[in-house]
Amino acid sequence: MNTKQIEQLRLSKVLVTGAAGFIGSNLCEALLDIGSTVVGLDNFATGHKKNLSLIIDNPNFTFIEGDIRNLDDCNKACDGIDFVLHQAALGSVPRSINDPITSNDVNVGGFLNMLVASRDANVKRFVYAASSSTYGDSKSLPKIEENIGKPLSPYAITKYVNELYAENFKKSYDLDTIGLRYFNVFGRKQDPDGAYAAVIPKFVMQFMKHESPVINGDGSFSRDFTYIDNVIQMNLCAITSENTDALNNVYNTAFGERTTLNELTSLLKEYLSEFDNGIADIEVKFGPERRGDVPHSLASIDKAKNLLGYSPKFDMRSGLKEAVKWYWNNLK
Ligand SMILES: NC(=O)c1ccc[n+]([C@@H]2O[C@H](COP(=O)([O-])OP(=O)(O)OC[C@H]3O[C@@H](n4cnc5c(N)ncnc54)[C@H](O)[C@@H]3O)[C@@H](O)[C@H]2O)c1
């Protein structure tokens, strides 16, 4: 970002939904560091008060406990807002397979409420968390924004519907939107607990407890694991971009490299062994593949580089080192 864009952020009031979650709380901290006025909205469905501990007393931060399924809560949160970073949703493919109705209510109904509230509050730009799951059964690699397949889970459908609604709100109401298709984000504050925990925090905690992580499948599946600071940069690029051609588009949000689960567990063992050398001897176990999982995921990030000026600073390994250090220092 150039100095003009940073100055613009300083003068802006930004709403972050899902503010008590992993990505939302990191976005709030980054914006407050820059000097923005920030409003956070969350109902603590999967987020935690502890994620707000560094910012809850910041005079530039207002927290609203509310539910995006309730339009009044969305209207209240959007009052006087310049930019929306919409993160609130129920993540996880398995969760959506177990309970598609709730995932749809929150991820589609809640999303539509947020679009309506943003439109009515005349926000300048609505930036939202989309998902790499939208590539569905498309086998082509790397994934290019314009080339998607059929969704493999209810979660993927909800995230694709978000993109359709966002596109339509430009046509119907002239609301500017940008969708960020996140690829397996990881880093500080990602929740390691619960049935739907993401693989990196879950495995880190298991290694730290000297338990054997279980890989679903033979470990050959690969992902474009993306460190949180790259995702923060992408969101800031999306709200400050002065390129009008960049608006009303979706962008892969990734580093642009893929790592297999076998490689991931080796790296985790290597990095965690620096803190506890007993971890080097822990064996990984293998279980059945999960329904709805895509075998491989790798993003092309050319579109975001060209149109938004995105330039990710952390590759998977440097991000993983940071994440491991954070978990060791905060959750051991
Ligand atoms: N983490 C990833 O790898 C990843 C990948 C693709 C997309 N995404 C998307 O990014 C966004 C943030 O994900 P995250 O990893 O930070 O997950 P998270 O679960 O940590 O954060 C989501 C937040 O939304 C809140 N929320 C859920 N339902 C709500 C409701 N009805 N009203 C208000 N708040 C509600 C939760 O309490 C939580 O704090 C989500 O939209 C998710 O689908 C994440």
Nearest CA to ligand 1 atom 32: 67
Q: Is residue 291 over pLDDT 80?
A: no
pTM: 0.98
Give, for 172, the enclosing helix (H) or strand (E).
helix 154-173
Between CA 72 and CA 113 the distance in angstroms is 9
Predicted confidence (pLDDT) at residue 312 exceeds the cutoff of 90: yes
DSSP sequence for 149-162: ---SSHHHHHHHHH
Pocket mutation for ligand 1, best pick of 44, 55, 73, 87 (most atoms within 8 Å of C-beta): 87
**Using CA of residue 261, residue 322, residue 251, residue 178, what is the dihedral sign?**
positive
Give the span between the Cα atoms of 33 and 229, in whole angstroms.
Answer: 13
The pLDDT value given to residue 328: 96
Residue to mutate (ligand 1; options 26, 55, 182; most atoms within 8 A of CB): 182
Q: Which residues pair with 296 in a beta bridge?
A: 222
55 lines ligand 1 (CB under 6 A): no
Closest ligand 1 atom to Cα of 106: 31
Ranking 223-227, 286-290, 299-303 by mean pLDDT, the lowest is 286-290
Q: What is the pLDDT of residues 25-42, one digit of tens each?
A: 999 999 999 999 999 999
Query: Cα separation of 332 and 315, whole Å?
Result: 25
Please tell me if the CB atom of residue 42 comes closer than 6 angstroms to any atom of ligand 1. Answer: yes
Is the Cβ–Cβ distance between 155 and 103 less than 8 Å? yes
Residue 293 is predicted with a pLDDT of 78
251 is catalytic: no
Could you tell me which residues are beta bridge partners of residue 297? none
Strand-strand pairing, 259-260 and 222-223: antiparallel
Q: Which domains does the chain have, with CATH numbers?
A: 3-189+227-257+296-314 (3.40.50.720)
- Contact (Cβ atoms closer than 8 angstroms) between residue 156 and residue 104: no
Q: What is the pLDDT of residues 229-264, one digit of tens each?
A: 999 999 999 999 999 999 999 999 999 999 999 999
- Asked if 285 and 215 count as a contact pair (C-beta separation under 8 A), the reply is yes
Mean pLDDT (whole number) for 59-71: 98
The mean pLDDT of the chain is 97
Query: What is d(CA 45, CA 53) in angstroms, rounded to the nearest whole number?
Result: 17
Place of tokens 């709200």: 239
Report the run of H or E that residue 34 belongs to, with start and end: helix 22-34
Q: Do you find a cis peptide bond into 201, omega within 30 degrees of 0?
A: no
Token pair for 58: 């910041």
Flag whether pLDDT at 290 surpasses 90.
no
Distance 51 CA to ligand 1 centre (A): 13
Q: Which of 135, 155, 165, 182 is catalytic?
A: 155
pLDDT in tens, 198-220: 999 999 999 999 999 999 999 99
Q: Is 182 close to ligand 1, i.e. is its CB under 6 Å away? A: yes
The predicted-structure confidence for 153-181, as pLDDT tens digits, reads as follows 999 999 999 999 999 999 999 999 999 99
